[in-house]
Amino acid sequence: MKNLSQSFLLLLSLIVITNVVSSFSSQQAYAWKVVKKEEGIVVSQRSELDRDLPSFKGTGLVNGNMYEILAILRDGPRRKEWMSKSGKTLVLSRKSVFEAISYQQTLAPFPVSDREVILHTQVYLRENPREIIATFDGVKWTKPIPGVDRDDFVWMPYLKGYWRLVEKGENQTEVTYMVNTDPGGMLPNMLIRRITHYLPLWTLMGLRKQVKRKKGFYKDFLSQYDPSLTKNTPKAVPPPPPASVLKYLR
């Protein structure tokens, strides 16, 4: 009986150890890994459960406050001035100042076809640490889009990610841009990985330049929504992020 109890305890210990090792291995497999550092920007990648392609994110400092950068991110028509590979962007509907549905084109080199996607964007405000989070997620859209011949583009079946703006000083913000995508069509995964690998780097470098170019351009937006310019009584405040969004940021 004693031997039987010892055998049972040994088996139970092995099961616990195996589960712990498996859990640790799984966490390691889906952890962020740095793949590039350039111009003060750190680019990382992470494998995603049930996704063929990894997520990529870039993080770097931008000289501008959170609301200046948010104003630039909201300005869809001017996105192609600074965002790598961006074509036409149209706001299709705006549910509030901080929530919108937009149409976006991504340009590709010949002979690859340009891509298109409809994005639902939601902005959140989090305290301690003080940060703005803007999530974007591809959605279906069956209505015609004015001025766009959709037969000229390949639909992107999946695009999801976020912008994260963390206040680091009076006029400095740590910006993170994360994206996971399936561009659709007949593109080899190796090519997609290579392009997406550089996308966060190019995007953050472009954002830095746009902040400098547009200094003072968004005074109307800032005078209404930047707490530092409204005596802490902005016209509207983004909602706090739900638990699902905070989990996605990890």
Q: What is the pLDDT of residue 237?
A: 93
Q: What is the pLDDT of residue 25?
A: 40
Residue 244 confidence (pLDDT) above 90: yes
* Rounded average pLDDT over 114-122: 93
173: left (phi over 0), alpha (psi -120 to 50) or beta: beta
Q: What is the pLDDT of residue 22?
A: 37
Q: What is the pLDDT of residue 147?
A: 84
The pLDDT confidence band at residue 12, using thresholds 50, 70 and 90, is very low
Q: What is the DSSP secondary structure assignment for residue 90, as one 8-state letter?
A: E
- Under a CB-based contact definition with an 8 Å cutoff, are residues 92 and 145 in contact? yes
Looking at per-residue pLDDT, the higher value among 24 and 214 belongs to: 214
Q: What is the pLDDT of residue 144?
A: 85
* Rounded average pLDDT over 20-36: 62
Residue 16 confidence (pLDDT) above 50: no
* pLDDT tens track for 95-111: 999 999 999 998 877 77
* Rounded average pLDDT over 3-29: 46
216: left (phi over 0), alpha (psi -120 to 50) or beta: left
Distance of alpha carbon 168 from alpha carbon 129, whole angstroms = 10
- Under a CB-based contact definition with an 8 Å cutoff, are residues 8 and 14 in contact? no
- Under a CB-based contact definition with an 8 Å cutoff, are residues 115 and 154 in contact? yes
Please work out, in degrees rounded to the nearest 5, the angle formed at the alpha carbon of residue 67 by the alpha carbons of 179 and 197: 20
- Under a CB-based contact definition with an 8 Å cutoff, are residues 136 and 160 in contact? yes
- Under a CB-based contact definition with an 8 Å cutoff, are residues 103 and 76 in contact? no
* pLDDT tens track for 183-222: 777 655 555 556 667 889 999 999 999 999 999 999 999 9
Q: Report the CATH superfamily, name and number, of domain 31-248.
A: START domain (3.30.530.20)
* pLDDT tens track for 119-165: 999 999 998 888 999 999 999 888 888 888 877 888 889 999 999 99
* pLDDT tens track for 46-66: 988 877 788 899 999 999 999
Q: Classify each residue of 11-39 as buried b or exposed e, where b means 16 or more C-beta atoms within 10 Å of its C-beta.
A: eeeeeeeeeeeeeeeeeeeeebeeeeeee
3-state secondary structure of 200: helix
Q: What percent of the chain has pLDDT over 70?
A: 83
The pLDDT confidence band at residue 20, using thresholds 50, 70 and 90, is very low
Helical H segments across 152-241, by residue range: 189-213, 219-225
Q: Nearest Cα to 114, choosing from 84, 85, 74?
A: 85
Which residue carries 């976006």 as its tokens? 104
CB neighbours of 235 closer than 8 A, spacing ≥ 6? 97, 224, 225
The Cβ of residue 189 has, within 10 Å, a number of other Cβ atoms equal to: 11
The CA–CA distances, whole Å, from 173 to 60, 62, 112, 131 equal 8, 5, 36, 9
Q: What is the pLDDT of residue 193?
A: 55
Distance of alpha carbon 210 from alpha carbon 49, whole angstroms = 35
Mean pLDDT of the chain: 84
